[in-house]
Each structure stands twice: as C-alpha cells, then as structure tokens.
C-alpha cells in the first residue's frame, strides 16, 4: 500500500505542475466577437445601397435609365421605389421590350403577385429568345419554374433549356 502511495505522489505532483500551463492558457480571455453595431461604427459595414454604375445615366435613353434605377432598387430590396421606376420606364419602353417585362415581373414577384409575374416572365423569355439572349431567357424560365413548374408556358420553353446529356 505504501509503495502505491509513493508511486502516485510523483504522478500527482507532475500533473499539478503541467496543469498550471493549461490553466494559464485558459485564463487568457478572448475578446467577444464584434457585434453588428461595432462593425457599423467602424465603417466596415456593407453598403445599404449598391454602388452607382460608372455609366453617365444622362446619356442613356429614358427607358434604360429607369430600368437601371429599378434594378438598383431591387438589389437594395426597395421594391416600392423599384415599382415606381418600372412604372416610369413603362412610359418610355415598348411593352414588348423583354428588359421591361423582366423588371416588371421581378417587382410583381417580390410583391407576391405570382400569376401576373409569371405572365411577364413568359413575355420576357419569349422576347429574349427572339433576340438570341438565351442566358437572360433562362433567368425568366427558372423564375417561371419556381412559380408554376407544370405550366403550359414552361413546357413550351423547356425545349430551349433541356440538356440532352442527362
């Protein structure tokens, strides 16, 4: 019994001396993570509104100008202002212009008017396909899929976006 006790004493002493280093490292307190307010006060907060484009908007035609502003408002999630800009763009844009129809659809979609948005996405997709802009048409098509995945218009556009490899 005494032998065991004598063997355990050095082990105990050794463990106590090494645990001091651990306790020192644990006693070092890390600063709390920065809050949103701290980041905002430091100026590292992301911008609320998107950066203005490097294009001179006064040189753009009124249709493009209002659509550009609407796009910026949509990016900033200010859908009421975006709706105002799209309404203004409607005075200058052709109602067959796929850019106008797409912006109108995005605003309607954001305002939960899905059926109307679906129709405008379809009109925009058809316009983009006529122009050969399949990338923009696909954006419209994918939004249509999220609204009415089995709609007849979706089936009509599907042939343009089906991948034969799968």
Domains of the chain, first to last:
57-161 (1.25.40)
The larger pLDDT score, comparing residue 138 to residue 35, is at 138
Q: Is the per-residue pLDDT at 106 higher than 90? A: yes
What is the Cα–Cα distance from 138 to 159, expressed in whole angstroms?
Answer: 11
The CB-side HSE value for 16 (13 A sphere, CA atoms) comes to 6
pLDDT score of 121: 94
Q: In 10 A of CB 25, how many CB atoms?
A: 8
What is the Cα–Cα distance from 104 to 114, expressed in whole angstroms?
Answer: 12
pTM score, two decimals?
0.64
Q: Is the per-residue pLDDT at 145 higher than 70? A: yes
Helix axis angle for 134-147 and 114-131, nearest 10°, is 160
Q: Is the per-residue pLDDT at 129 higher than 90? A: yes
Average pLDDT value for the chain: 80
At 6-58, the pLDDT tens digits run 677 767 776 666 555 555 555 566 677 777 666 666 665 455 555 555 667 67
28 secondary structure, DSSP code: S
pLDDT score of 166: 45
Q: In 10 A of CB 100, how many CB atoms?
A: 25
What is the Cα–Cα distance from 106 to 129, expressed in whole angstroms?
Answer: 18
């Amino acid at each position: 019994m005494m032998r065991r006790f004598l063997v355990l004493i050095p082990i105990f002493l050794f463990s106590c001396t090494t645990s001091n280093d651990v306790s020192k490292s644990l006693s070092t307190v890390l600063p709390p993570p920065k809050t949103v307010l701290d980041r905002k006060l430091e100026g590292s907060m992301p911008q609320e509104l998107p950066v203005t484009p490097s294009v001179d908007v006064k040189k753009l035609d009124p249709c493009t100008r209002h659509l550009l502003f609407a796009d910026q408002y949509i990016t900033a999630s200010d859908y009421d202002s975006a709706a105002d800009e799209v309404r203004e763009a409607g005075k200058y844009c052709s109602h067959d212009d796929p850019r106008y129809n797409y912006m109108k659809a995005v605003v309607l979609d954001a305002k939960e008017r899905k059926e109307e948005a679906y129709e405008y996405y379809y009109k925009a997709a058809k316009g983009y396909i006529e122009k050969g802009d399949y990338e923009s048409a696909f954006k419209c098509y994918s939004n249509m899929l999220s609204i009415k995945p089995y709609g007849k218009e979706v089936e009509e556009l599907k042939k343009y976006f089906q991948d034969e490899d799968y």
